[in-house]
């Protein structure tokens, strides 16, 4: 490849890959702090009653959802790795095009960063941390080794926004009188990055993809 073209492509990729690195660093620093300073289930109020740091762990899917069993966990981890590879290839291919859409590249970078953030939890947290328990904080690099094997670690979640807390009306089918919380899921920065990237792709899909179809 011509050196000038290669340099041009690298310049195009600098911004999106900088986004990936920054989000990864913030995500991992935040997760490691929570893992080593909070016990499982602990909540710390940040802003009155609508924003908490609430430490929980899940088997790997976004917003606290689970995919059961060791096989499901392994399948999810492999799927994430394949998805990241596909996104990186897409981003590199985009950088070769004469008309480079930097905002499409940013969306891809957000998704890549979020997926990589949760992959790191799944791949390595079980190897480098002791298990978190209620009223017991985990240890980084415990002498006895980690709590599980490669690609079987749990993903750390901590962002909780119970914006509305109320109860369903008594006449409401099945859940009448039960507690209602919006927004209930607990998530992390990586989940947020994926969600923002996907949302922007959906919102601006006509802008991003109409140019390519027209060309």
Residue spans of alpha helices (H) in 97-165 = 102-120, 126-128
Select which of 27, 101, 121, 157 is catalytic.
157
Residue 49 annotated in active site: no
Strands 51-58 and 43-47: antiparallel
Whole-number Å distance between alpha carbons of 52 and 68: 27
Residue 101 annotated in active site: no
Give the long-range contacts of residues 126-135, CB within 8 A, separation 24 or more: 126/150, 126/152, 126/153, 126/154, 127/153, 129/35, 129/153, 132/35, 132/39, 132/40, 132/55, 132/57, 133/39, 133/40, 134/39, 134/40, 134/41, 135/39
Residues with active-site annotation? 157, 191
């Amino acid at each position: 490849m011509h050196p000038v073209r290669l340099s041009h492509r690298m310049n195009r990729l600098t911004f999106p890959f900088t986004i990936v690195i920054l989000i990864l660093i913030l995500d991992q620093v935040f997760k490691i702090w929570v893992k080593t300073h909070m016990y499982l289930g602990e909540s710390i109020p940040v802003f009155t009653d609508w924003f908490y740091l609430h430490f929980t762990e899940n088997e790997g899917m976004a917003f606290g959802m689970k995919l059961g069993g060791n096989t499901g966990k392994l399948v999810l981890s492999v799927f994430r790795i394949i998805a990241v590879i596909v996104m990186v290839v897409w981003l590199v291919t985009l950088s070769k095009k004469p008309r480079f859409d930097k905002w499409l590249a940013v969306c891809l970078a957000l998704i890549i960063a979020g997926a990589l953030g949760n992959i790191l939890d799944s791949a390595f947290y079980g190897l480098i941390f002791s298990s978190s328990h209620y009223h017991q904080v985990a240890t980084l690099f415990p002498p006895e080794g980690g709590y599980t094997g490669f690609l079987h670690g749990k993903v750390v979640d901590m962002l909780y926004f119970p914006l509305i807390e109320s109860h369903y009306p008594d006449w409401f089918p099945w859940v009448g009188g039960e507690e209602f919380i919006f927004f209930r899921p607990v998530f992390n920065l990586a989940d947020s990055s994926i969600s923002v990237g996907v949302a922007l792709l959906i919102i601006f899909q006509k802008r991003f993809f109409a140019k390519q179809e027209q060309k």
